[in-house]
Structure 1
Amino acid sequence: MPAVPARILPTIVISQFAATSLWFAGNAVMPDLQRSAGLPASAVGDITIAVQLGFIAGTLVFAWLAIADRYSPRIIFFLSTLAGAAANAATLASGGEFLPLLAARFATGFFLAGMYPVGMKIASGWCDRDLGLALGWLVGALVLGTALPHLIRGLGGDLPWQGVILSVSAVSIAGGLAMFLLVPDGPHLRAGAKFDPAAFATIFRSAEFRASAFGYFGHMWELYAFYAFLPVLLAARLGSDAATVSVWSFAAIATGFLGCVVGGYLSQGIGSARVAFMQLSASGLCCLVSPLAFLAPLPVFLAFLLFWGVVIAGDSPQFSTLNARFAPPRLVGSALTIANCIGFSITIVSIALLGWLIETAGPQYVFLMLVPGPVLGLAALRRLAVKPA
């Protein structure tokens, strides 16, 4: 088998990073929208939920129609970046009106389904082994992409929110173009099995798949709610300096890249289940002590958020690895689609819960509501973590 060209994996990682920067573009400019359009504080949760719903819908449509199997995935990736960038730019056309804004964010989420999962399929066409490590790099790229709009907002000086949105769209298109021009279809690329929603009962008969999937569900309860309301938590402690809040939001989310990549290397020695168990334990503990950390001296509070950012994301690629490993071989595609859709549906519930409570309980306390996710996830994952690697 010919050696994989040196440019392939770095290009895939950079393209994934650039393309998925669309995910939280709306959140990065939310303070500006709230000031200009008079949107309530709960709108942060609403626009995040719109993206999540769009991603769920897109994932189901892409899987049902087997789009990435019928056509070259790199072409699907590129076209999705174009459509997603246009949907993101439609935020400008909303004029801050709430329903058009939600529609633009839903459409953005829909086309993200042609980037994140399809990017993993492209990588699988080149990376036949070391799945946990490869996914560590790819999910790490997703985490960095998620954080990027906050960095653009924080370092943009007087750049208006419209400029932030357009900059993110341009970055996403550049990522799609790089994937299209530099990454041909890999030698291990396979057509996936047709999506079968009736596989639900079959895939959950496996005790190992139940353990990994329910661990993943507990992780998802926490992850996107943390990302959505992190700027609110920082603003409550740092004040109304939007640039400072944005830079620290970027930093706390972006450290998840280290958790993903380092966790990928660790998984080669101790196994994906143990890496996921350790990181989910640490992030659950962060949820529990978050009110105390909020009262700590500022350097301690900021260091705490950086650590939380590392461990809250670092288990994600390992859960993806476990789900792929323990899914029934003939139903891997359907199993992963079903698990992802359930996981992202769970994020909607936790985001809505925090959005409902944050104005009454205060941002320093609402993250306690995330504790049950890691607790239940750890209980499910324990049977895999105690097995030999």
Structure 2
Amino acid sequence: MKDAHPTPGYILPIIVIAQFAGTSLWFAGNAILPDLEKALSLPADALGVITSAVQLGFITGTLTFAFLTIADRFSPSRVFFICALLGSIFNLGPLISNSYEMILSFRFITGFFLAGIYPIGMKIASDWHKKGLGKALGYLVGALVLGTAFPHLIRDLTGSLPWKYILIATSSVAVMGGIAILAGVGDGPFRKRGSKFDLGVIFKLFRHNDFRNAAFGYFGHMWELYAFWAFTPFILRYYNSSVGTELNVSLWSFITIAVGALSCALGGHLAMSISSKKVAFFALALSGICCILSPLLFMAPIVIFIAILQVWGMAVVADSPQFSTLVAQTANKAYIGTGLTVVNSIGFAITIISIQLLTWLNGFVQSDYLFLTLAVGPVFGLMHLTKVETSK
């Protein structure tokens, strides 16, 4: 019986801490962007381009990992450690050369190795949790959220120090996360190893209706998520200029993104009672409503502005771990790692489109109405989520 292999209590905390540590590399470039803009006279679209460079690297990495079925053929813990180490090294690249072209290259390669951190972390969690996967992934994606927000906090705490310390701090934390996984977490008792390389696995996965609809729901969610995160500092700066306030952009960017960790954890616990599908539906619908109401956000009093922004920050990511749970539950059990990885890859490709679209539209559309375009994602996602059938 599988129940004869209960998951030790220390396993999930180690995975969560390691996931937080590894994903702190993600927005390190965004956190130092104001300093780089001053030092290098970067172009106006630098925010979108630098963010997209990481996303494109992540996509390339996840496609490579998926086609080679690395997550299912090799020890996930070792893959996580190696990628955390290499990602940390390339995260430090701007310390050696800080030309705009080289920065984009370093961010791309960092993104490539993040492909061995985020989806591999979910694979490790699924190998250790037969029951309560939605709750486990809730904590895990919450760690991703905190890791994503972490560079903004470092920037706020080290405001008087050179930007290089942000890169050093995030790289150091990521390496420690990799060591924690390697030393404290082995292969889970529910891991089913893929026996051989099979180029057709990806296509076989998407032939299954429930897997496909769960993936499409996730894609709609991703259209909004990273565009919102990338433009959170923009939203705060625009509100400051529109209303004449002086909100701390770095601090509130951290809070707005990090609050999603709480909703991920709460959603994971709620999924144990009402199902991952229902939690994902509610969160995606709420974030879609925030997109539609976004033009009113910039006219609101500061207290209401902050409150709505926090609701949006919670709703925009609370469905992410539940979509991953649905993907894992509907995938072929021998290729859960590959299923999670390829769905992540396509999802992050979509984030590049939405981020670049917002960057382009910002030159033509009044900023108040810019984020209406993000509502397309939740609508598309909800249409497919309702079609997912799962017994879990």
More displaced 10-residue stretch of structure 1: 209-218 or 290-299: 209-218
Work out the CA distance in 2 between the residues paired with 1:27 and 1:312.
Answer: 19
The aligned runs of 1:346-365 (5 Å cut-off) are 346-365=350-369
Q: Find the counterpart in structure 1 of residue 62 from structure 2.
A: 59
Supply the AA of the counterpart residue of 2:193: A
Q: Does 1:142 align with 2:137?
A: no
What's the CA shift for 1:61? 1.9
More displaced 10-residue stretch of structure 1: 174-183 or 303-312: 174-183
What TM-score results when the alignment is normalised by the length of structure 1? Answer: 0.93
Q: Find the counterpart in structure 2 of residue 275 from structure 1.
A: 279
What's the CA shift for 1:62? 2.2
The aligned runs of 1:378-389 (5 Å cut-off) are 378-384=382-388
Work out the CA distance in 2 between the residues paired with 1:50 and 1:106.
Answer: 5
Q: Find the counterpart in structure 1 of residue 167 from structure 2.
A: 165
- Deviation string, structure 1 residues 76-117 (Cα, Å, up to 9, x no partner): 21221111111110022232x221111000000011111112
Work out the CA distance in 2 between the residues paired with 1:210 and 1:187.
Answer: 27
Work out the CA distance in 1 between the residues paired with 2:180 and 2:245.
Answer: 35
More displaced 10-residue stretch of structure 1: 190-199 or 301-310: 190-199
Q: Secondary structure at the match of 2:61?
A: helix
Q: Find the counterpart in structure 2 of residue 224 from structure 1.
A: 226
Q: Find the counterpart in structure 1 of residue 190 from structure 2.
A: 188
- Deviation string, structure 1 residues 105-153 (Cα, Å, up to 9, x no partner): 0000011111112212222232221111111111111111001000101
Q: Secondary structure at the match of 1:255?
A: helix
More displaced 10-residue stretch of structure 1: 191-200 or 231-240: 191-200
More displaced 10-residue stretch of structure 1: 323-332 or 344-353: 323-332
Structure 2 unaligned blocks of 5 or more: none
Q: Does 1:106 align with 2:81?
A: no
Contact 2:85 2:175 in 1 (8 A): yes
Supply the AA of the counterpart residue of 1:273: K
Work out the CA distance in 2 between the residues paired with 1:76 and 1:225.
Answer: 28
Q: Find the counterpart in structure 2 of residue 116 from structure 1.
A: 118
After superposition, the CA RMSD in angstroms is 2.2
CA change 1:204–1:183 in 2 (3 A) is closer
Question: Out of 211, 234, 251, which is 1:247 matched to?
Answer: 251
Q: Secondary structure at the match of 1:22?
A: coil
Work out the CA distance in 1 between the residues paired with 2:332 and 2:187.
Answer: 26
- Deviation string, structure 1 residues 217-256 (Cα, Å, up to 9, x no partner): 1101000111111111111123599992111001000111
Contact 1:195 1:333 in 2 (8 A): no
The aligned runs of 1:287-298 (5 Å cut-off) are 287-298=291-302
Contact 2:193 2:334 in 1 (8 A): no
What's the CA shift for 1:201? 4.7
Work out the CA distance in 1 between the residues paired with 2:247 and 2:152.
Answer: 9
Q: Find the counterpart in structure 2 of residue 210 from structure 1.
A: 212
Q: Find the counterpart in structure 2 of residue 261 from structure 1.
A: 265
Supply the AA of the counterpart residue of 1:307: V
CA change 1:363–1:194 in 2 (3 A) is farther
More displaced 10-residue stretch of structure 1: 178-187 or 18-27: 178-187
Q: Find the counterpart in structure 2 of residue 42 from structure 1.
A: 45
Q: Find the counterpart in structure 2 of residue 320 from structure 1.
A: 324
- Deviation string, structure 1 residues 155-181 (Cα, Å, up to 9, x no partner): 213021111111111111111122222
Q: Does 1:90 align with 2:93?
A: yes
Work out the CA distance in 2 between the residues paired with 1:33 and 1:4.
Answer: 45
Contact 1:8 1:183 in 2 (8 A): yes
Contact 1:290 1:367 in 2 (8 A): yes
What's the CA shift for 1:303? 1.2
Structure 1 unaligned blocks of 5 or more: none
CA change 1:60–1:279 in 2 (3 A) is same
Q: Find the counterpart in structure 2 of residue 13 from structure 1.
A: 16
More displaced 10-residue stretch of structure 1: 239-248 or 78-87: 239-248
Work out the CA distance in 2 between the residues paired with 1:219 and 1:308.
Answer: 13
What's the CA shift for 1:330? 5.5
Q: Secondary structure at the match of 2:7?
A: coil
Question: Out of 346, 370, 374, which is 1:342 matched to?
Answer: 346
Contact 1:323 1:336 in 2 (8 A): yes
Work out the CA distance in 2 between the residues paired with 1:179 and 1:335.
Answer: 22
What's the CA shift for 1:293? 1.1
Supply the AA of the counterpart residue of 1:208: D
Work out the CA distance in 2 between the residues paired with 1:236 and 1:160.
Answer: 25
Work out the CA distance in 1 between the residues paired with 2:295 and 2:169.
Answer: 35
More displaced 10-residue stretch of structure 1: 56-65 or 153-162: 56-65
Q: Secondary structure at the match of 2:190?
A: coil
What TM-score results when the alignment is normalised by the length of structure 2? Answer: 0.92
Work out the CA distance in 2 between the residues paired with 1:221 and 1:132.
Answer: 22
Contact 2:72 2:334 in 1 (8 A): no
The aligned runs of 1:18-37 (5 Å cut-off) are 18-37=21-40
Q: Find the counterpart in structure 2 of residue 4 from structure 1.
A: 7
Count residues in correspondence: 387
Q: Secondary structure at the match of 1:23?
A: coil
